Structure 1
Amino acid sequence: MAAPLPIASADADPSFAELLAARPHLSLHALDGLLVEEVPLARIAAAVGTPSWVYSAGALRRRARALKAALAGAGLRASVHYAVKANGNLAVLRVLASEGLGADVVSEGELRLARAAGIPASAIVFSGVGKTERELRLALAEDIAQINIESAEEAAMLSALAASLGRVARVALRVNPDVDARTHAKITTGRSENKFGVGIDDAPALYARLAAMPGLRPVGIAMHIGSQITSGMAAYRAAYARMAELATVLIGRGLPVEHLDCGGGLGIPYRDEPAPAPEALAGAIAATLGPLGLPVMLEPGRWIAGPPGLLLSSVVLQKQGAGRRFLVLDAAMNDLVRPAMYEAWHGILPVSPADCAAALAPSDVVGPVCETGDTFARGRALPSLQPGALVALLDAGAYGAVMSSTYNMRPLAAEVLVDGSRFAVVRDRQGYEAMLAGQRLPDWLAEGAVP
C-alpha cells in the first residue's frame, strides 16, 4: 500500500514521488516506509546500522539485460564487460557475472576480484594508462581476453615481458579521437590533452608496429571518451566515425582487426536531466561501426551499477544556523565523495512514510567531517527530521563505496545486497581494531613513553 507523496512544482527539484517513479526497485509502503525491492530500509538499518550501502540485485539484473537487449536489437554482435571501477563489491560482480557480463579492469586488484567473482579470464579486458610489470605478468598468466595498449612505451614493455615468458598477448590499441564528450572535466577522457590513449593520427603506424613486435597480437581498436555522458549521441557518433575510418585504413593495409572496443560512459539521470537510453547508444554504434561487420565490445559501469545502489544514513541532529537549517547525517564525504568532488546532485528520500508526507522546508544536508565541502545538498526541500530518522541518498551504486576513505578515522560503511525479500551483508562494516591493525610504532617510539 503506497503512502501519498508531495508533488513538486515544474521548476523545483524532483518530488519524492517523481524520484520513486523513476526508480522501479524502490517503493514507499504506508506502514514500512521506503523499500528496496521487498525489504524495508528500516529493517536493514536496525540489523546492520548506518551508514550502509544498499544494492538491489533485481535492478542490476534488469539493467544488464536491458543493455544486452538494446545491442542485440540493433543487430550488433556485442559483448558487455562491466567496468569494475564503478562498484567492485564481490556480490555485485557475481550478480553481473551470472547475467553473462565480462569485466573491464584497471588494476591487479580488480583483475583478482573479477576472477574471484567467477568471471572467466576470457571475458576480461585490462585498461589503464599505467599498468605495472607485475600487473601485466598477472594478465599474461591468466591469459585474459585483451590488454588495451595506451602508448608506444607500454607496447614495448609488454612485448619484452611477453616474449621473455613465451607468451602472446592479445592487445587492442586505445586511440584518443580528440572528441569532447561534454561531461565533467574530471571524467572526460577522449580529448587530445587527456592522458588516455594515443593520438588517432599516430595510430596506423603504431598498430603496424604492434603487429611486428614479438609477444603481441593486435586484435582491435579501443576507445573511451568519458563518463556520465548525457548530452546525446553526437559525441559518440563523432568518436565512432573516427574509429570506423581508422579501422578501414588498418584493414586496407592488411592489418588484423578482429573487433572494436567502444568503451562506456553512458550517463544516468541523477536529478531529472535527460539521459540517453541504451537503445540510442546501440543505434549510434550500429550507424557508425555496423557497416564494418565487426563484433563490438562495451564497458559500462555507472549505467549498470549507479541506480541500483543507495547510501542509507541516519540523522545525527537538526541544527538551525544563521538563516539556514542543517541536517547533519552520520554519513559523510568520506563515504560518498561525489558531491564534494564533482558538485554532484543525489536525490535524498526520507525512509519513514510519515516523514515523506510531512511539510517541506529548505535544508542543507551535511556530514560530520571537518570540511565545509562535506555537504550532500544545499537548500534541499526536506521535512523536519529528528535524530535517528533515516534517509536514503539515491543512485549511489557507482563511484560510491569504491571511492570511500577513512578520513577523520571513520570506518568504511557496511555493504548490503537485497534480492527480492532477502538481504545480506556482503561487506562487513570496518571495525576500529581493523583500522589500527596495520599501524605500528617504530622501536625508538615504542620503547618508552613520549615525553
Structure 2
Amino acid sequence: MELRLTEVVEHLRAAQADSGEPLCAYVYDLEGLRRHAAGVAASLPQGCELFYAIKANSDLPILQTLAPLVDGFEVSSGGELAWVREHFSDVPVIFSGPGKLDSELDAALERRVDCLHVESLFELQRLAERVQRHGKPQDVLLRMNVALDNLAETTLMMGGKPTPFGIPSLELPECLAWLRGHPEIGLRGFHFHLLSHQLDAQAHLRMLAACLEQVRQWCDQYRLSIEHVNVGGGIGINYRDPARQFDWAGFSGALPALMQRSGLAGVRLRFELGRYLSAACGYYAMQVIDIKRSYGKTFVVGRGGSHHFRTPHAQGHSHPFHVIPVDDWPHAFARPAAANEAVSVVGQLCTPKDLLAFDAVVERVRCNDLVVFSYAGAYAWHISHHDFLRHPHPRQWYLPVQEDAHAAVERA
C-alpha cells in the first residue's frame, strides 16, 4: 500500500497560496489508487474475483479509476445501484445489504444486477413476487450468519453472533426447500461478511477456510451445485500504527493452497473490498486557525472537523497526520505555535466530540500551517454529517493518473 504524500503536498501548497481564506480540502491521489488496486488484483490467484464495495467511496473519479481493474462493483442500496448504472452501463454489479425495498428489488431486475445477496427467507419470497411480475429470472447468493469455532473477533462484527445481518445457519434448510419450488430464482452460492477491520492476515485465512469448509458440508448434505462463494471484504486499515498494515502479500500467497484444500473444485471465490482498496488514496487537509492551551492540554484548531472527516470518531482512534509548514504569516502580532509537545487536533464544531487526533506529539505546528490526515479515502467524507452547523463543504481535488498528471480535477 503506497502513500504518495509528496505529490499531495505539492498540490496543497499551490492551492493554499491561491486561497483567500484558510484551506479545507480532500485530495485523492488517483495514480496511487490505480497502482494499489492493480497490485491487489494481480496478486489474486486464478479462480478469484475482485469487486469494489462502493460504500467506502463512491466518487465518480474513484469508480472510473477502479472500473478497469476490478471484476465489478458491489452496491448496498438502490441509490448506489442507480449511480453505478448511470455511469457504467455494463460493469457487473452485485447487490448486498439488509432491508431492501421492493422498489430496490425491482431496480435490481431492471438494471441487470449480476447477483442479489439475499438476507432472509422473507426477502426471497418478496423477490419471487418481483421476478414473476418482471418475467425474468434472478440469481442469488444466500448471505449466511454462521457461528464458527474460534472466530477471532475484531472491533466490528456482523456475524457469528446475534446480528441483523444474514440468514442463521439453522434456517438454511427451510430456504433451500423453498428455493427448490422456485426455479426462477437460481442459487449460485453463498455470501459471508462476518466482520470488518481485520488486521491479522492469518486470522482472516482461518476464517475463510472455516467458511469454505462449511460450504462444502452444505453442498454434500443438500446435494448443491454452486458457482460462487463471496467471502466479503472486512480487511482493515491500521490507523493506530500505519507502518503495520494487513499482510496482503502473505494473505494472497496463501489463497491457492486454501482453495485447493476446500474441496470446492470449480467454485470461484469473490472478494468485495472497499476500505482496503481506497483508504490510502485520500487525504484530508485543514489549515490551522488557532492554537490554544487549556488546563495543561494544547489544542490545534483547524478549519473543518468531524462533520467532514468522521473516521476518527467512528473508529475511536487518534488519526495519523502530517504537519505541512506554511511560511506566510499576514499578521503583525506573534504567531501562535506548539513545539515538541502533545497536541489534540480539533475542528470548528460546537462539541468536544469534534476530535480528530489526540495526545499526538508534534515537532512543531503553527497557525496557518496545514495539518494533513492520511488514509482518508474510505468511510471519511462519505459517512460524515456534512451540513451540521452549515459550514461550507471542503474542496475536493483528484490528482489524475500519470498519463494526465499535469492538472488536478476539482469536483464541482
Normalised to the residue count of structure 2, the TM-score between the two structures is 0.87
Q: Distance in 2 between matches of 1:390 and 1:189?
A: 37
Instruction: Count how many residue pairs are aligned between Structure 1 and Structure 2.
Output: 391
Aligned to 2:372: 392
Spell out the pairing of 1:26-425 with structure 2 (5 A cutoff): 26-27=5-6, 35-36=7-8, 39-46=10-17, 50-72=23-45, 76-118=46-88, 120-121=90-91, 123-179=92-148, 180-184=151-155, 187-213=156-182, 215-250=184-219, 253-272=222-241, 274-283=244-253, 285-290=255-260, 291-293=263-265, 294-352=267-325, 359-405=339-385, 406-419=387-400, 420=402, 421-425=405-409
Q: Distance in 2 between matches of 1:136 and 1:426?
A: 35
Deviates more, 1:364-373 or 1:276-285: 276-285
In the alignment, residue 25 of structure 1 is paired with which amino acid?
R
Q: Distance in 1 between matches of 2:87 and 2:340?
A: 44
Q: What is the CA distance between 1:266 and its match in structure 2?
A: 1.1
1:232-280 Cα deviation digits (max 9, x unpaired): 3224423442333324432563333111111111122223263322233
3-state SS of paired residue (2:107): helix
CA shift in 2, pair 1:112/1:276, >3 Å = same
Contact 1:91–1:426 (8 Å) recurs in 2: no
Q: Distance in 2 between matches of 1:137 and 1:189?
A: 26
Q: What is the CA distance between 1:284 and its match in structure 2?
A: 5.2
Quick check: 1:25 aligned with 2:4? yes
Q: What is the CA distance between 1:194 and its match in structure 2?
A: 1.7
Q: Distance in 1 between matches of 2:372 and 2:183?
A: 53
3-state SS of paired residue (1:286): helix
Q: Distance in 1 between matches of 2:391 and 2:138?
A: 42
Contact 1:102–1:119 (8 Å) recurs in 2: no
3-state SS of paired residue (1:40): helix
Contact 2:200–2:247 (8 Å) recurs in 1: no
CA shift in 2, pair 1:43/1:181, >3 Å = farther
Q: Distance in 2 between matches of 1:318 and 1:112?
A: 45
Q: What is the CA distance between 1:81 and its match in structure 2?
A: 0.9
3-state SS of paired residue (2:172): helix
| Paired-residue identity, % | 27
Q: What is the CA distance between 1:310 and its match in structure 2?
A: 0.8
3-state SS of paired residue (2:233): coil
In the alignment, residue 408 of structure 2 is paired with which amino acid?
A
Normalised to the residue count of structure 1, the TM-score between the two structures is 0.80
Aligned to 1:435: none
Q: Distance in 2 between matches of 1:118 and 1:90?
A: 10
Contact 2:41–2:70 (8 Å) recurs in 1: no
CA shift in 2, pair 1:426/1:105, >3 Å = farther
Q: Distance in 2 between matches of 1:209 and 1:282?
A: 37
3-state SS of paired residue (1:143): coil
Gapped regions of structure 1 (runs ≥ 5): 1-21, 28-34, 429-451
Deviates more, 1:131-140 or 1:269-278: 269-278
Contact 1:204–1:250 (8 Å) recurs in 2: no
Contact 1:54–1:418 (8 Å) recurs in 2: yes
1:356-392 Cα deviation digits (max 9, x unpaired): xx95321111111011111111121124433321110
Q: What is the CA distance between 1:165 and its match in structure 2?
A: 1.3
Q: Distance in 1 between matches of 2:373 and 2:392?
A: 19
In the alignment, residue 80 of structure 2 is paired with which amino acid?
E
Q: What is the CA distance between 1:336 and its match in structure 2?
A: 1.1
Gapped regions of structure 2 (runs ≥ 5): 329-337
1:66-112 Cα deviation digits (max 9, x unpaired): 2112212xxx3122110101011111001000224411100111112
Contact 1:310–1:394 (8 Å) recurs in 2: yes
Q: Distance in 2 between matches of 1:132 and 1:426?
A: 35
CA shift in 2, pair 1:292/1:350, >3 Å = same
Deviates more, 1:288-297 or 1:100-109: 288-297
Q: Distance in 1 between matches of 2:18 and 2:169?
A: 53
CA shift in 2, pair 1:300/1:103, >3 Å = same
In the alignment, residue 140 of structure 1 is paired with which amino acid?
L
In the alignment, residue 264 of structure 2 is paired with which amino acid?
L
CA shift in 2, pair 1:398/1:140, >3 Å = same
Contact 2:192–2:230 (8 Å) recurs in 1: yes
3-state SS of paired residue (1:196): coil
